[in-house]
């Protein structure tokens, strides 16, 4: 600075230097990591450790841990090292974390990602850096449509995959009159749209639609509005606390007595059911999995998970479990050699296996998962309210 009081110049240098050194202080770690990293497989895991999606982050991480342990932390002959970063709720944070993992930790590939915005935010980054990203959870349609990338595979689902079949089924099996409520954010609206298209295509009529903002502490105004319309069926997608609060008040205001629920699976997953009890009883939902799904793979998965973590797995645990498996399967095909990008892409795209959710494979064009979607109903069992599989709606492939 031109002429700020001169006595403090030296101190200022000292500080400025301090900053530089501070930043440089990051180098040792990263170099160190790379040195010992010669043949370990470094996987950057970006999952929420704070904010509304924290629990999803934890469950997914557990699922991954479970699978990686099953294969003794080896993929394609390489030792697996996980580097976890907090996705948080701010997509741009996800970007800086991804940057850190790629540039500083030199990870071989990335996985995780719960929130769709985070996925969109890091899409270009991973594509230009040619680092494979296996998305475990983010379900925004565009990620495997307009924004699809050769280096991104989605092992989870798309909004459309649940909403569309639910729309058709509701129209044919529940009622031709439906009221809709969905969280006012991209994924919520995509779900609603997917449902609406299929529902109207099947001859159903939508009475009205509501889009409450995320994180509303109170839904009574919406519920009053729904009650006034007296619909037979209510389509719903409200995530996390919103879902719980809504279902609660839905019952408290007595709507559960005469309005039936047709909702996206996440809204009535086991963790929610345990909180809202019979408020969700009878709710029909679509999802690619159910705790009570009776397949050998799932039975084993549930048992192992219970044994390892002493509690039921959630659908998120499953998504983590499968994402981990995708990575291992692909690396095995490559014998751990990721040098040739075309082979890498080929290897990931061609991954196929029997998942607890059913046959697992990728759509070669969109890199999105092709999977069964089940129609479930929340029923009262000896162990409380659970989702029972009513029917398998077959292999669902996102139109892309």
Does position 318 interact with another protein (CB under 8 A)? The reply is no
In terms of C-beta density within 10 A (0-12 exposed, 13-18 middle, 19 or more buried), how is residue 145 classed? Answer: middle
Contact by Cβ (8 Å): 204, 178: yes
Q: Is 327 in the site for another protein (CB under 8 A)?
A: no
How many contiguous H segments (helices) and E segments (strands) does the chain have?
13, 15
- 211 class by beta-carbon count within 10 Å (0-12 exposed, 13-18 middle, 19+ buried): middle
By the rule CB under 8 A, 217 interacts with another protein = yes
Q: Which C-beta is closer to another protein: that of 13 or that of 69?
A: 13
As measured in angstroms, the least distance from the Cβ of 289 to another protein is 18
Q: Does 221 bind another protein (CB under 8 A)?
A: yes
**Helix, strand or coil, per DSSP, at residue 374:** strand
22-54: b (≥16 Cβ within 10 Å) or e: eeeeeeeeeeebeeebeeebbbbbbbbeeebbb
C-beta of 267 vs 334, nearer to another protein: 267
Write out the DSSP string of 4-18. S-GGGHHHHHHHHHH
Phi, psi of 106 (to 5 degrees): 50, 50
Q: Say how many C-beta atoms besides its own lie within 10 A of residue 89's C-beta.
A: 17
Angle between helices 315-334 and 296-309 (to 10 degrees): 110
391 is a site residue for another protein (CB under 8 A): no
Residues 62-121 that bind another protein (CB under 8 A): 84-86, 89-93, 95-97, 99-100, 103-104, 116-117, 120-121
Q: According to the binding rule CB under 8 A, does residue 150 interact with another protein? A: no
Give the DSSP per-residue string, 132-159: -EEESS---GGGGTTT--TTEEESS--H
The one among 130, 172, 173, 252 contacting another protein by CB under 8 A: 252
In the complex with another protein, which residue's Cβ is closer, 203 or 213?
Answer: 213
Site pattern 286..315 for another protein (x: CB under 8 A): ------------------------------
Q: What is the x/- site pattern for another protein, positions 180-199, by CB under 8 A? A: ----xxx-------------
Whose Cβ is closer to another protein: residue 125's or residue 379's?
125
Q: Tokens 């099996």 sit at which residue?
A: 173
Query: Least distance from C-beta 32 to another protein, angstroms?
Result: 12
Which of 161, 272, 371, 387 touches another protein (CB under 8 A)? 272
Instruction: Kindly state the smallest distance separating residue 295's Cβ from another protein, in Å.
Output: 26
Kindly tell me which residue out of 37, 149, 177, 211 binds another protein, with binding defined by CB under 8 A.
Answer: 211
- Tell me whether residue 51 or residue 400 sits nearer to another protein (CB atom): 51
215 interacts with another protein by CB under 8 A: yes
222 near another protein, judged by CB under 8 A: yes
How long is the chain?
A: 400
CB nearer to another protein: pick between 274 and 392: 274
Window 29-48: contact mask with another protein (x via CB under 8 A) = xx------------------
**Residue of the chain from 277, 308, 336, 379 that contacts another protein (CB under 8 A):** 277
Does the footprint of another protein cover residue 4 (CB under 8 A)? yes
* Contact pick of 66, 131, 245, 293 for another protein (by CB under 8 A): 245
List 76, 156, 212, 358, residue binding another protein (CB under 8 A): 212
Encoded tokens for 44: 């950057």
Min dist CB 399 to another protein, Å, is 20
Bridge partners of 385? 380
The Cα 41–Cα 83 span in angstroms is 11
Number of residues that bind another protein (CB under 8 A): 89
Beta bridge partners of 180: 209, 235
**Both tokens of residue 292?**
């009570």
Burial class (CB in 10 A: 0-12, 13-18, 19+), 128: exposed
Q: According to the binding rule CB under 8 A, does residue 54 interact with another protein? A: yes
| Maximum pairwise Cα distance, the chain | 83
Return the closest-CA partner of residue 149 out of 165, 164, 130: 130
C-beta of residue 245 within 8 angstroms of C-beta of residue 218 = yes
Minimum separation from the CB atom of position 48 to another protein (A): 8
> Which parts of 225-244 interact with another protein (CB under 8 A)?
225, 227, 240-244
Q: Least distance (Å) from another protein to the CB of residue 124?
A: 6
């Amino acid at each position: 600075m031109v002429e700020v009081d001169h006595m403090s110049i030296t101190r200022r240098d000292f500080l400025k230097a301090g900053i530089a050194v501070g930043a440089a202080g990051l180098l040792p770690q990263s170099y160190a990591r790379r040195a010992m990293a010669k043949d370990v497989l470094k996987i950057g895991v970006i999952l929420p450790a704070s904010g509304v999606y924290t629990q999803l982050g934890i469950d997914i991480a557990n699922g991954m841990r479970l699978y990686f342990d099953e294969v003794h932390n080896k993929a394609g002959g390489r030792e697996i090292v996980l580097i976890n970063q907090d996705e948080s709720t701010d997509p741009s944070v996800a970007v800086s974390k991804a940057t850190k993992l790629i540039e500083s930790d030199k990870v071989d590939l990335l996985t995780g990602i719960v929130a769709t915005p985070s996925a969109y935010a890091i899409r270009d980054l991973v594509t230009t850096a040619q680092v494979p990203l296996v998305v475990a959870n983010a379900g925004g349609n565009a990620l495997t449509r307009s924004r699809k990338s050769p280096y991104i595979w989605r092992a989870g689902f798309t909004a459309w995959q649940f909403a569309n079949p639910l729309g058709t089924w509701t129209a044919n099996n529940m009622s031709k009159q439906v009221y809709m409520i969905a969280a006012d954010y991209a994924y919520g609206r995509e779900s609603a749209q997917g449902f609406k298209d299929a529902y109207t295509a099947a001859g159903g009529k939508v009475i009205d639609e509501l889009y409450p903002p995320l994180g509303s502490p109170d839904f009574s105004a919406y519920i009053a509005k729904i009650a006034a319309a007296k619909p037979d069926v209510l389509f719903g997608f409200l995530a996390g606390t919103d879902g719980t609060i809504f279902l609660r008040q839905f019952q408290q205001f007595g709507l559960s007595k005469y309005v039936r629920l047709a909702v996206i699976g996440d809204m009535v997953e086991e963790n929610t059911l345990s909180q809202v009890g019979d408020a969700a009883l009878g709710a029909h939902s679509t999802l690619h999995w159910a705790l009570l799904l009776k397949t050998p793979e799932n039975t084993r998965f549930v048992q192992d998970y219970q044994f390892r973590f002493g509690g039921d797995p959630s659908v998120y645990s499953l998504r983590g479990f499968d994402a981990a498996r995708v990575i291992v399967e692909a690396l095995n095909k490559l014998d751990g050699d990721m040098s040739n990008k075309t082979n890498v892409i080929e290897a990931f795209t061609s991954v196929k296996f029997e998942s607890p959710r059913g046959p697992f494979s990728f759509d070669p064009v969109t890199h999105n998962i092709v999977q069964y979607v089940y129609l479930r109903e929340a029923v009262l069992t000896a162990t409380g309210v659970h989702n029972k599989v009513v029917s398998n709606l077959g292999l669902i492939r996102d139109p892309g």
